[in-house]
Chains A and B, each alone.
Chain A
Amino acid sequence: MTALALPGRHLPRLPGAVIAAGVVLAVYALIGVLAPAFVGDIRALNLPERLLSPDAAHWFGTDQLGRDVFGRTLYGTRNSLIVGFAVAIATTLIGVTLGIVTCFSAWTDRIAMRLMDGLMAIPGVLLAIAMVAIFGSSLQNVVIAITVPEIPRMVRLVRSVTLTVREQPFIAAAISIGTPLPRILWRHVLPNVIGAVMVQATYTCASAIISEAVLSFLGAGTPPEIPSWGNMMADGRQLFQVAPWIIAFPGIFLAVLVLAVNLAGDGLRQAIDPKLSRRVGK
């Protein structure tokens, strides 16, 4: 069979960085779930206490409206995690379907691949900003706008893996005993593609979290009433020289989360593709 197999069948020793990434992700997930419970009213304005630097009462300081940066940063975790996972799942579902189907149907292949070429020629961030600006700022539209430019990469990956799987003897065997096409795709092709897809989905998640922050930072992302790291950093832009903490803390949270997701992706890739990890030596 191919070098790809389901994860978990032969998990090698995990490097320390991957374990650290797992711990960080667990902490973020916990923060995301629990934030509404232990953070007070994140919208409460408190003008007398505006632009306070970090101290015991406000660990991360306060912004120009006197809102607590610590609470809002914790709350922003939710938004980033939701967008990251939603985009990764949507991209995977659409990408896998398109990628596998195009390998078994010549005319869908021609149309879909030209569409993907065109889509890849448009800079992703610009396309996403344009879509949010046009269709309106909502969480759902942000997810759609980030998903669309991510699809071609997933389709191409699935397609390249499927093309090698298609030539395997077990596919010919399945066809020769009269297995219907949908069953071949589901039982014989999909399990061999899923490993590479999971790795790519992890990288998609990381890239989506950055994209959401970029969109919100540029003013065409998550609605302003939802605390997101990008929105907070956009609020702090004009005040960076007086109150750098408004930008610094959401920025650090963002960078650490994306780093952890990327490390998890690297670990997953090494676990799934032993050929690669043997060659790279770690």
Chain B
Amino acid sequence: MLWFLVRRIVAAVPILIFVAVFIFMLLHLAPGDPAAVAAGPNASPQQVELLRQRMQLDMPLPDQFMRWVANLARFDLGVSIFSNQPVSRLIGQRLEPTLLLAVTAMLVAVAIAVPAGTLAAWKADSLLDRVVMMFAVAGFSTPVFVTAYGLIYVFSIELGWFPVQGYTPLAQGILDCLQGLVLPSLALGFVFAALIARVVRATMLEILAEDYIRTARAKGLATPTIVIVHALKNAGVPTMTVIGIGFAILVGGVVVTETIFNIPGLGRLTTDAILRRDYPVVQGVILAFSAMLIVVNILVDLSYALFDPRVRNA
């Protein structure tokens, strides 16, 4: 088990190095002068030159890269051109809302998708099945912002139950914080729920056709016991896989959701930095997101062992 974990972490290192090189090359081979952009339209040529030196853009490209990698090894992601703050501190400040949003959205998704998918498979080909599957296709076809604005219109503007936008930090009250997160996590969770529900249904259909389910039926177990105790447990592995894959989509959704609901998280930090060409921040945040994706995938692999003892002993 521990050996498995170590092997997975070692395998992730070259991927992170590739991402680092790729992002670095993408930003540094780009047309346009980042110093001129950062200095603003009213800067004199001298000011641009000064900024270029401060940003170390006058060094040869391989030297810039070596310096960046050396700093990276010490978890030093550089300093923002725009706000002059260390990138690692900026990421730290923005982590809380993004993580909370991701986790609550995931909870919403699983809470909707697992029962819906299970019911659809249980009552396969019934009206209920058709309705659930129709909602599933509609769910992942509707972009996050369409769902988000629909929810804002109904629940914030018409009913006034939730704030239209904004974010209350966790430290200022858990309830206030959660109230602000209800609509964003619903909007984000729906897309995800649709994806997971389809997989749960397909897997459950397969499992319900297995021999041991027939055996369970033959010995007279009640249908709910069979479906929930015997079948659902075995749907865990494929469900975790789709959750892992979906996390990459979730990151994209987080960026949009944070923009719509004006949540000061990592997604907003990224889009703002990209639009301002704040290269150190862009590099740092994309690297941080990629590292998160890799960590989630390792956790997903570990969860297989939880659902399937055969993986544990392999």
- A-to-B contact residues, CB < 8 Å: 17, 114-115, 117-127, 129-131, 133-136, 206, 210, 213-214, 217-220, 233, 237, 240-241, 244, 247-248, 251-252, 254-255, 258-259, 261-263, 266, 279-282
Alpha-carbon separation in the docked complex, A224 to B136 (Å): 33
Alpha-carbon separation in the docked complex, A29 to B237 (Å): 41
Count residues of chain B with CB under 8 A from any CB of chain A. Answer: 52
Cβ-defined contact, A251 with B146, below 8 A: yes
Cβ-defined contact, A244 with B153, below 8 A: yes
Which residues of chain B (199-227) have a CB below 8 Å from chain A?
202, 205-206
Cβ-defined contact, B137 with A262, below 8 A: yes
- B9 interface residue (CB < 8 Å to A): no
Overall SS of chain B's interface: helix
CB closest chain-B residue, reference A240: B149
In the complex, what's the smallest C-beta–C-beta distance from B161 to chain A, in angstroms?
15
Q: Which of A122, A135, A206, A240 contacts B23 (CB 8 A)?
A: A122
Cβ-defined contact, B248 with A244, below 8 A: no
Q: A121-B16, A218-B256 are in contact. Are A258 and B143 (CB under 8 A)?
A: yes
Alpha-carbon separation in the docked complex, A220 to B272 (Å): 11
Contacts of A219 on B, CB cut-off 8 Å?
271, 275
CB closest chain-A residue, reference B18: A118
Most chain A CB within 10 A, of B23, B206, B252, is at B252
Overall SS of chain A's interface: helix
Contacts of B306 on A, CB cut-off 8 Å?
none
Q: A115-B18, A213-B143, A248-B149 are in contact. Are A129 and B290 (CB under 8 A)?
A: no
CB closest chain-A residue, reference B249: A124
Question: Looking at the complex, which of B26-34, B50-58, B70-78, B86-94 is the stretch in contact with chain A?
Answer: B26-34
In the complex, what's the smallest C-beta–C-beta distance from B7 to chain A, in angstroms?
15
Contacts of B294 on A, CB cut-off 8 Å?
121
Which 3 A-B pairs rank lowest in CB-CB distance, beginning with the nearest?
Answer: A125-B252, A118-B18, A259-B141
- B1 interface residue (CB < 8 Å to A): no
